[in-house]
Amino acid sequence: MAAHPPPPLSADWTDHRDRQLAAIGRLAVEETLPVIVAGDLNTTPWSHGFRTLVTHRLRDSAIGWGVQATWNARVLVPRLPIDHLLVPPEIGVHSRSVGPDLGSDHLPVEAVLLVP
């Protein structure tokens, strides 16, 4: 599932983003097949909206790989980890890193997943 909720530029936009993230989490729980979620989620892994997305059916692929900041590629610091890859527990993460600048204001997330 690819997702790109709105950035938190106002209280209304933040609420809309968080509702969209919660809906994605609910869909992952209801789905009988494994769900992978990827995209610019416009949220850090420490935000309330992100925590509602990470459920028993989705886990953050960055766990164990450190903070991997992807935005804003046009500045050196501070960058934020707002691009995410979430996987179900049955899919392993062999490697995960931030890729090279490809011309976007975001750096890509690169991962090798172990699918049973």
User: What are the domain boundaries of the chain?
Assistant: 11-114
- As assigned by CATH, the class of the 11-114 domain is alpha beta
Other CB atoms within 10 Å distance of the CB of residue 65: 14
**Predicted TM-score of the model (pTM):** 0.90
**Residues 73 and 108: beta-carbon distance below 8 Å:** no
Tens digit of each residue's pLDDT, the chain (116 residues): 999 999 999 999 999 999 999 999 999 999 999 999 999 999 999 998 898 888 889 999 999 999 999 999 888 778 999 999 999 999 999 999 999 999 999 999 999 999 98
Give the per-residue pLDDT at 26: 92
Whether omega for the bond prior to residue 45 falls within 30 degrees of 0, making it cis, is: no
Give the integer Cα–Cα distance in Å for 109 and 15. Answer: 25
Could you give the angle at the alpha carbon of 23 between the alpha carbons of 94 and 91, nearest 5°?
15
Chain centroid to Cα 74, Å, comes to: 20
